[in-house]
């Protein structure tokens, strides 16, 4: 397999793995939410407090953050975006180095002034 195909395969494999983890996270969250409710209400574990709501809310927040990371952030901040940013920074550094070299050359050679 050539290098480009290998990179595409690895990226696709990584994305599938990330999505699979989000789906598993959702299933675990859903089942656990039902379990928390049953423990709190049906088994009468501290029934006067609705602690299960706090647990579900906290877990929902974590799930939403996980979902955003995988489906929103990763969709536009990916390998291609990273390579573009590196290219921009390298070009900017090369311009600065070039300007400094010209300035040094100008300062060291008074006949150019």
Using alpha carbons only, give the angle 89, 92, 97 rounded to the nearest 5 degrees: 125
User: Structure pTM?
Assistant: 0.67
pLDDT at 1: 58
What is the separation of C-alpha 90 from the centre of its chain, rounded to a whole number of angstroms? 23
How many Å apart are CA 18 and CA 24, to the nearest integer?
10
> Would you say residue 54 has pLDDT above 60?
yes
Neighbouring residues of 97: CB distance < 8 A, sequence distance ≥ 6 = none
Model confidence pLDDT, tens digit, residues 59-107: 999 999 999 999 988 878 877 888 889 999 999 999 999 999 998 888 8
Give 19-44 pLDDT, tens digit per residue. Answer: 999 999 999 999 999 999 998 888 87
Determine the Cα–Cα distance for residues 97 and 113; give it in Å rounded to an integer. 20
Q: φ and ψ at 77, to 5 degrees?
A: -105, 80
């Amino acid at each position: 397999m050539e290098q480009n195909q290998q990179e595409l395969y690895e990226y696709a494999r990584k994305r599938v793995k990330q999505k699979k983890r989000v789906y598993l996270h959702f299933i675990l969250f859903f089942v656990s939410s039902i379990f928390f409710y049953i423990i709190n209400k049906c088994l009468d574990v501290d029934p006067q407090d609705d602690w299960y709501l706090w647990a579900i809310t906290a877990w929902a927040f974590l799930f939403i953050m996980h979902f955003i990371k995988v489906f929103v952030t990763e969709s536009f901040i990916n390998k291609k975006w990273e390579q573009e940013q590196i290219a921009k920074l390298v070009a900017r550094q090369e311009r600065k180095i070039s300007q400094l070299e010209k300035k040094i050359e100008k300062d060291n050679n008074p006949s150019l002034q």
